Amino acid sequence: MTSRNHQLFEQSQHYIPGGVNSPVRAFKSVGGEPVFFQRGEGAYFWDADGKQYIDYVGSWGPLILGHAHPDVVKAVQAAVQNGLTFGAPTEAELEIAQLICRLLPSIEQVRLVSSGTEAGMSVIRLARGFTGRSKIIKFEGCYHGHDDSLLVKAGSGALTFGNPSSAGVPAETAGHTIVLDFNDIAGVEEAFNKWGKEIAAVIVEPVAGNMNLIAPKADFLGKLRTLCTQNGSVLIFDEVMTGFRVGLTCAQGLYQIKPDLTAMGKVIGGGMPMAAFGGRREIMQCLAPLGPVYQAGTLSGNPVAVAAGLATLKLIQVPGFYDQLANRTRQLVDGIAAAAKKHGIDFCAQSIGGMFGLYFSKTIPTSFAEVMQCDKAAFNRFFHAMLEEGVYFAPSAFEAGFVSSMHGDTELNKTFSAAEKIFKNW
């Protein structure tokens, strides 16, 4: 009997490019066909065939409270009753802006948008408008949304401008972007020595999550701060993924670095389409209607999304929330790593807050090049075997994973049992 998942995918390919609305969902990296989901509750969700899975993707990070948290659902229902959208200011927008500014000292003013891509493209435009410069530095393997300036891969040399990594991106647009190696501060110093007064901004995921989970080396973020300050460039932290994921004060609080601008998303929307960017007042006031940098959005600050975000941000402030989340995530990676080690498999893992990375490698990678040396075929085999056991990880060896506050001993033990079964028969 043909599964409902297969039927839906076959039909979707006729009407949606690749059958999916975001490329990684297509399972191209791991092979096979994507799973279509119908509902979620807590740490679990169910596919179109009714099969239950433990979810370690969490809609790629937003669901820090798990699926359909009752308080978030209640807040959304209340907001919907008052109207779906106004395209005008609301008191709730002010409330969430005040909360973000209180939790993150680097943010003196903030503007709400509807997606991480919007936040990413807006901070780049704002940094360029504030400095009057064109060049930006980004890092290989870091993803900041599908804006033209940011869809750039490394050039042919250590210090060349990037090349477009997508059709449709003009070479001259990519030519303003310098792509360097994450965690290689010497490369950044060399770039500033060569182009320092032309560099508008450095944009970085303080903890990389789009080439699997890659932690910053001890001095990396601090030296980025120093170099930007010395050269009058804007330091941008892309905390779309790490924001309120690795701690209540985000990665910038965890590593005690104060960026000039921050892009946020995922958790701040509580599962609804919402993101934000903010930073120093003098930079933010370059935005229209106060300044010459234009940015706008009809659904920015959508009241339903704001309601979900506010409910989520209030719940994660409960004392001990992040300690428990970090402990659960650490238990997860330690348990899977122990099962692999028991059976002599080259595997390692790490976690930061509620994020984790799994690597089929002898050592934890620290750069894009090292990630690419991991055994991708082994990951794909592991992914499908775990999927069969009802454990859902990201369908790519190059994506971080996420734990929610609803993952408990039962879910972890089921995961460990599945991993032990798979590695035993490896």
pLDDT in tens, 149-188: 788 776 544 445 567 778 887 877 778 999 999 999 999 9
Strand partners, 349: 358
* d(C-alpha 409, C-alpha 56), whole Å: 14
Verify whether residue 238 is a known catalytic residue: yes
Q: What is the mean pLDDT of each run of 10 residues along the chain (426 residues)?
A: 91 96 92 96 97 98 98 98 97 98 98 97 98 96 86 58 75 86 97 97 97 96 98 98 98 98 98 98 98 96 98 97 98 98 97 98 96 96 98 96 98 98 97
What single string gives the DSSP state of each residue in 154-197?
A: --SSTTSB-EESSTT--HHHHTTEEEE-TT-HHHHHHHHHHHGG
Report which DSSP code applies to 36: P
* d(C-alpha 200, C-alpha 235), whole Å: 9
* d(C-alpha 57, C-alpha 38), whole Å: 15
| Torsion region of 362: left, alpha or beta (phi above 0 gives left; psi -120 to 50 gives alpha) | alpha
Confidence (pLDDT) at 154: 63
* d(C-alpha 314, C-alpha 318), whole Å: 8
* Fold (CATH) for 4-64+319-424: Aspartate Aminotransferase, domain 1 (3.90.1150)
Taking the alpha carbons at both ends of the chain, their separation in whole angstroms is 29
* d(C-alpha 331, C-alpha 325), whole Å: 10
CATH, range 70-315: 3.40.640.10
What tokens does 361 get?
Answer: 């490698």
- Domain ranges in the chain are 4-64+319-424, 70-315
Nearest C-alpha neighbor of 277 from the set 298, 300, 249: 300
* d(C-alpha 334, C-alpha 54), whole Å: 18
- Whether 402 and 63 have beta carbons less than 8 Å apart is answered as yes
Verify whether residue 51 is a known catalytic residue: no
Among the options 266, 322, 359, 392, which is catalytic?
Answer: 266
* d(C-alpha 129, C-alpha 142), whole Å: 23
Confidence (pLDDT) at 168: 83
* d(C-alpha 175, C-alpha 148), whole Å: 11
Among the options 47, 184, 238, 260, which is catalytic?
Answer: 238
Confidence (pLDDT) at 173: 77
Verify whether residue 266 is a known catalytic residue: yes
Nearest C-alpha neighbor of 269 from the set 235, 245, 298: 245
Among the options 44, 56, 143, 322, which is catalytic?
Answer: 143
Nearest C-alpha neighbor of 206 from the set 183, 174, 176: 183
Cα torsion through 174, 129, 121, 79, rounded to 10: -170
Contacts of 260 (CB under 8 A, 6+ apart): 106, 127, 228, 234, 235, 236, 279, 280, 283
Nearest C-alpha neighbor of 241 from the set 226, 225, 263, 257: 263
Report which DSSP code applies to 426: -
- Whether 254 and 247 have beta carbons less than 8 Å apart is answered as yes
